[in-house]
Each structure stands twice: as structure tokens, then as C-alpha cells.
Structure 1
Amino acid sequence: MRTPVVMILGMVLAPCGLLLTLTGTLTPGWRLVKGFLDQPVDVVLYQGLWDMCREQSSSERQCGQPDDLGYFAAEPVRVARGLMIASLAATALGLLLATVGVRCWQDEPHFALAGLSGVVLFAAGLLSLIPVSWYNHFLADRAVLPAQSSPVTVQVGYSLVLGYLGSCLLLLGGFSLALSFAPWCAERCRSCRKAPPGRARRSSISTVYIDWPEPALTPAIKYYSDGQHRPRPVQLGAASQRKAGFPMPRPPPKAYSNPVEVLDGEKAPESHHGVSSRSTRSCGSALPCDSDL
């Protein structure tokens, strides 16, 4: 049996979503802060869930910057850490279940296990989508996510975009694998229909059965319904009564026989000299002779 398309699609999208989600979780690029007054114009501060990096065009990126404003203590950052880790763990579990359920090395896949892996992957996509959306909602709120006041500007980082893409791929892959429940449910329904019925259901105490007598119908309604004449029950019984007996044998056909011999006049006695006298003797028969020709 070929692997269903929904399983193949789920097995392709789920690892891609895992890779993007892992990259977005580890990289320090959830928010870009730039426009500092006391620093050069080209200085950009990258803020992530675990680290902050300072980048300048004239120097290399420097990570491990001090958190003077309490960025890592913000509630969206702390919640995002826990949910992203939970999403990665759920994705790994879902891929393990999908590998065992799809079973590309065997003829028949395990539809129930593949569908369960789709549910787990879909939940993993939700776990990663919630913190990404929440962080993006409070991105410019300096009271929730601390940042220097204006003219410092904040922008969306590349890690947030990768988190969005990874979450969407996990949702699509999980939904595709969850469609594997359809063949499993169909098989269960067929087996339930073929199962022998159980004990007859007991009637309720309040159930009362009443045998109402049939009303007497007039002959016009009883024997002339639907505009067609129907014979009375007596006539109908007589017409439908089966005849008794068996067919008599017929005599064989007789052949016709003619009692008159048609060759009597053509027979003549032989002469003493061995010569036939058919031409000299007169024909005594009523039939024509050779001499008459």
C-alpha cells in the first residue's frame, strides 16, 4: 500500500516547522532597538529570549550585553521561554509518533497512531504561536517590554518571523497527519455494523400496546379502490385455486396408405422366345402402355 498523501505532507511540513521554531527560539532577534542618543547611529541592539547582542557596522557583533532595564524579567519574555520549550518537546514527541505511525517501511500504516501524532503536532504549533503573537502584541509597549524612550525605535526581529513561520508549518503538518483518523474511523464503523446485536431492549413500563380493530369498509372502497375493479374474496379464491389432475397422452399421428397397386398394369408375362411382347400385345390395363406413345 502506498503512503497516503496527507501523511507525506505532514512528514515534510512538521520537520520544517521544528527547524524554524528551534532557530527562532535560540537566536537573539525577537526585537531590534536602534536610535540611541549617546551611541553611534549605526548601533543596533538585538533582543531575544536568552541573550542580547550589540551590532555596529564598524565592529563585530557583541553578545552578552547587560540588561539594565529588566528586559528578561518581563512577563512576555518569561512566558515565551516556557511555551517555546514546551512546543519543541511536543514537536519532537509528535515526530516520533508520526515515524512509528506512518511506517514507510511496511505495507500498512498505523492510522490511529499517525492521527495521534497529528494532534500532538497541532498542539505544538499552538504552543509556539501563542508566545510569538503575545510578544508581537506588546512589542512597542515600553511599559511591558522595557526599552529606552524616544527617539529610540523598536522593530520586529527575524526570530519573531521565523517563529511565526514555524508555528504555521506545525499547524499545517499536524492537521494533515490528523486526517489519518478518517480511515481508522471508517474501519471502526464497519466493524461495529458487522458486530452481532446484543440483547433485545426491554420495553418501558409506561409503554402500552393497544390492538385497535380494523374499521369495516364499504364494498365500493373495498373492492373498487384506485378506480380498478377487484373481485370479491370468494371470486379471487376460486380464480386463484389450483387445478388438480394431469394431462392425458395424445395418440401418435397415423400415416396415409393407398390400397390400390399402381404398378399392376405394367407387369407383362415373358414370351417363350425370350423377347418381350410389350410392343405387339395389347395393353389390358387402364394405365397407358408403351404402344400408345
Structure 2
Amino acid sequence: MRTPVVMTLGMVLVPCALLLNLTSTLTPAWRQLHGFLDQPVDVVLYQGLWDICREQSSRERQCGQPDDLNYFGTEPVLVARGLMVTSLAITALGLLLATLGVRCWQDEPHFLLAGLSGLLLFIAGLCSLIPVSWYNHFLDDRDALPAPSAPVKVQVSYSLVLGYLGSCLLLLGGLSLALSLAPWCEERCRRCHKAPLAGPRRSSISTVYVEWPEPALTPAIKYYSDGQHRPRPAEQRGVGKPKVGFPMPRPPLKAYTNPVDVLAGEKGVESHGPSSRSTQPCLASLPCDSDL
């Protein structure tokens, strides 16, 4: 997998910002003073956070000049010392985490680690931007930052400019690396949506389910759907079965009555015994009970 653009941009900007802030912190050139009455015209006095240097004609430079005006004891200088050192320490830690998260030797970057390093680097950028801005605000204030009276002029020097550049690059690099948290957050959200719920979802108290009985439909409506009349269930049983043969005629059903007394010929036979039954003919056209 290729390294994302945000990580590459952050890894380029952060080392440059670290170098600029380190140079700004150590070099004694946050502001410069020139135009002294009792010294040559080309004499320039440079003041930084840790040292004061005197330079003449850009050839001779003498550092360790005495602080007669208690410049190092002022509040902007003391705050700038502490915050710039803190910014350098946080930047080094964030750069280490970014190196482990961006992974130059692994197949996949560690998005969470890279994003956390970006947040640290962004905080480091704020820690360096605050003292630089505050010092620049009181640059020409002779009460906050002591300096000889007029006609001595006070101007910005290169260390303060380097501090501004380093702070801005650090903020941009940290923000770029912090964007690495977006893929990590997206993956976490996807996992949360796919994870099963811990238990059955309870219905709301305001939701009431009522089972209403189905109304009885008339046959005309019950067996009519989709614009067509549907056969009744009893009629559907024979549907689909082919009929074989031809229908047989059925005789009409009627009651049978016999107008002839079938026992009339048996009245005289009962007294002579069973042997004489066959000699007496049956007067009825239908078979007699004795014949059966």
C-alpha cells in the first residue's frame, strides 16, 4: 500500500519545522538594536532568549554581552524560553510516533498512531507560536522589553522570523498527520454497525400492538381478487384433474308400491303343512315370500 498523501506531507513539514524552531530558540537574534550615540554607526546589538551579541560591520561578533537593563528577567523572555523548549520536546516525541505510525518498513500504516502524533505536533506548533507572537507584540515596548532610549531603534531579527515559519509548518504538518484518523474512525464505525446487538431490542413504552380480528367477508368479496372471481375452496379440489369416460344416465328416484296382496295365496296353505306349498300357485305376478 502506498503511503497516504497526508502522511507524506506531514513527514516532510515536521522535520523542517523542528529545524527552524531549534534554530530560532538557540540563536541570539530575536530582535536587534542599532543607532547608539556613544558607539560607531555600524554597531548592532542582537538580543535572543539565552544570549546578547554585539556585531560591528558584519565582521566582528562578540557574544556574552552584559545585561545591564535586565532583559532576561522580563516576562516575555521567560515565557518564550519555557514554551519553546516544551515545543521542541513535544515535536521530537510526535515525530517519533509519526515515524512508527507511517511505517516505512510495514505494508499497512498505523492510522491511529499517526493521527495521535499529528495531534501532538499540532499542540507543539501552538506552544511555539504563542511565545513568538507575544514577543513580537511587545517588541518595541521598552517597558515590557527594556532597551536604550531614542535614538536607538528596535527591529525584528531573523530568529523571530524563523520561529514564525517553524510554528506555521508545525501546525500544517500536525494537521496533515491528524487527518490520518479519518480512515481509522471510518473503520471503527463500520465495525460498530456490523457488530450484533447485546440483547433483544425492547419496544418503546408508547408503542402498543393490538390484534384486531379480521372482519367476515361476503362470498362476493371473499372470492374476488385481482379483478377476477376465484373459485371456492370446494371447487378448487377438482380443478386440474382431467375427466375420463362419459357420464352414465341415472334413473329417476321414485317410491315403489305393490297394489296386490302377496299373502293372499298363502292363507290356505299354512293349515296343510309345508309339503303342499308348491302345489298352490301364487296369485300375484310378483314373487311370493314363500318362493323367496
Same fold flag (TM > 0.5):
yes
| Correspondence 1:232 to 2:232 | no
1:204-243 → structure 2 map (5 Å cutoff):
207=206, 209=208, 211=210, 232-236=221-225, 238=230
Amino acid at match of 1:95: L
Residue aligning to 1:244: 239
TM-score w.r.t. length of structure 1:
0.74
1:102-121 → structure 2 map (5 Å cutoff):
102-121=102-121
Distance 1:165 1:75 in 2: 23
Partner of 1:232, secondary structure, is helix
Task: Please report how far the alpha carbon of residue 247 of structure 1 lies from its aligned counterpart in structure 2 after TM superposition.
Answer: 5.1
Residue aligning to 2:183: 183
- Where structure 1 has 5 or more consecutive residues not aligned to the other structure, the ranges are 217-230, 250-293
Residue aligning to 1:61: 61
Distance 2:232 2:9 in 1: 70
Residue aligning to 2:9: 9
Change beyond 3 A, Cα 1:87–1:244: same
Task: Please report how far the alpha carbon of residue 198 of structure 1 lies from its aligned counterpart in structure 2 after TM superposition.
Answer: 1.5
Tell me, yes or no, if the aligned pair for 2:52 and 2:65 is still in contact at 8 Å.
yes
| Deviation readout 1:222-257 (Å, 9 max, x if unpaired) | xxxxxxxxx8333237269767324579xxxxxxxx
Residue aligning to 1:125: 125
Identity score, percent: 71
Change beyond 3 A, Cα 1:66–1:235: same
Partner of 2:60, secondary structure, is strand
1:94-105 → structure 2 map (5 Å cutoff):
94-105=94-105
RMSD (Å) for aligned C-alpha atoms? 2.5
Amino acid at match of 1:33: L
| Deviation readout 1:111-154 (Å, 9 max, x if unpaired) | 00000000000010000000000000000000000001111110
Partner of 2:170, secondary structure, is helix
Amino acid at match of 1:209: V
Residue-pair matches, total: 235
Task: Please report how far the alpha carbon of residue 104 of structure 1 lies from its aligned counterpart in structure 2 after TM superposition.
Answer: 1.4
Distance 1:189 1:121 in 2: 26
After superposing on structure 2, the runs of 4+ consecutive aligned residues of structure 1 that deviate more than 6 Å are: none
Task: Please report how far the alpha carbon of residue 213 of structure 1 lies from its aligned counterpart in structure 2 after TM superposition.
Answer: 6.6
Distance 1:104 1:210 in 2: 60
Distance 2:191 2:207 in 1: 35
Distance 2:232 2:20 in 1: 85
Residue aligning to 1:165: 165
| Deviation readout 1:4-47 (Å, 9 max, x if unpaired) | 11111100000000000000000011001111111111110000
Distance 2:126 2:159 in 1: 17
Change beyond 3 A, Cα 1:180–1:244: same
Distance 2:110 2:58 in 1: 57
Residue aligning to 1:29: 29
- Where structure 2 has 5 or more consecutive residues not aligned to the other structure, the ranges are 245-292
Amino acid at match of 2:167: S
Residue aligning to 1:269: none
TM-score w.r.t. length of structure 2:
0.75
Partner of 1:154, secondary structure, is strand
Amino acid at match of 1:79: V
Distance 1:234 1:189 in 2: 52
Distance 1:179 1:113 in 2: 11
Distance 1:94 1:245 in 2: 82
| Deviation readout 1:241-275 (Å, 9 max, x if unpaired) | 767324579xxxxxxxxxxxxxxxxxxxxxxxxxx
